[in-house]
Amino acid sequence: MPEQYALIIGSGFEQFSGNADGECVETRFGRPSAPIKEVDIGAQCVLSIARHGEPHSIPPHAINYRANLLALRDAGATSVLALNTVGVISTIRDSGQIAIPDQVLDYTWGRQHTIHDANDGSLEHIEFTEPFSQSLRQSLLAAAVAAGIDCYDGGVYAVTQGPRLESAAEVDRLERDGADYVGMTAMPEAALAMELGLDYACLTMIVNRAAGRGDGPIHDDVEASTSTARALAESLLQQFFANSGSGRQ
């Protein structure tokens, strides 16, 4: 059985949200952020959901991550590629570049972070030593190499609550904790995907230097860097889905 890929579209990736009307579903965790759509990328038919809703309006802490992932799984997804924008903390990368992180630090709070909420009598303590699917990460990195795209292999993604950006001191603390990137959406998404038996990896667009790390206002950095990082991510996805065998035709 081939993989059925799904994209979770973050800020700046709206071009992958598909044109057709998608299906509005209700899950046992409530309504997803947006309808699930089918998008043709390369030779593949890929499922897609807009994480922040359509139009883009749901802040990171208010996203119904459980409904989004359950709806994708119920629609047949087996492998989820999450597109996220992040700021960079360490010097491994710079604004305008892309990366496939391999670790996560979770600073979020008050989000519905498990499917085991005692309502269905199930409980499982998933092993989260490797929060992202290694096979999916390696396939993405192989696509980057094939396309001649510079995509960083690894790094620690710190997930903050948002929607505000961090203070410089908070970023200093994240750095002391070992974080390379900071964003707002990979958790609880990665853990929920694992609980639901889905392969999951993040393709991160680095759109700014984190608070206290850049030379000017963060939003200027975001404005200057987003289109470059987005173009790299888009090319990587085109290559990934052009590969034969990577998904249902």
Name residue, tokens 């970023």: 171
E strand segments, the chain: 5-9, 37-41, 44-50, 79-88, 98-100, 103-106, 151-153, 156-159, 181-183, 199-209
Least separation in angstroms between CB 184 and ligand HPA: 5
Rule CB under 6 A: which of 36-75 touch ligand HPA?
A: none
CB closer to ligand HPA out of 27 and 90 = 90
Site string for ligand HPA, 194-233 (x = CB under 6 A): -------------xx-x-----------------------
Q: Distance between CA 202 and CA 83 in Å, rounded?
A: 6
- Distance (Å, whole) CA 188 – CA 102: 15
> Which residue's CB comes closest to ligand HPA?
87
CB 11 within 8 A of CB 233: no
Least separation in angstroms between CB 59 and ligand HPA: 11
Find the binder of ligand HPA among 17, 68, 85, 226 (CB under 6 A): 85
Give the pair of three-digit tokens for residue 80. 């989820």
Taking each helix axis from N to C end, the angle separating 218-242 and 134-147, rounded to the nearest 10 degrees, works out to 90
> Contacting ligand HPA (CB under 6 A), which of 47, 86, 186, 194?
86
Site for ligand HPA in 151-190 (CB under 6 A): 160, 165-166, 182-184
Interface positions with ligand HPA (CB under 6 A): 85-87, 160, 165-166, 182-184, 207-208, 210
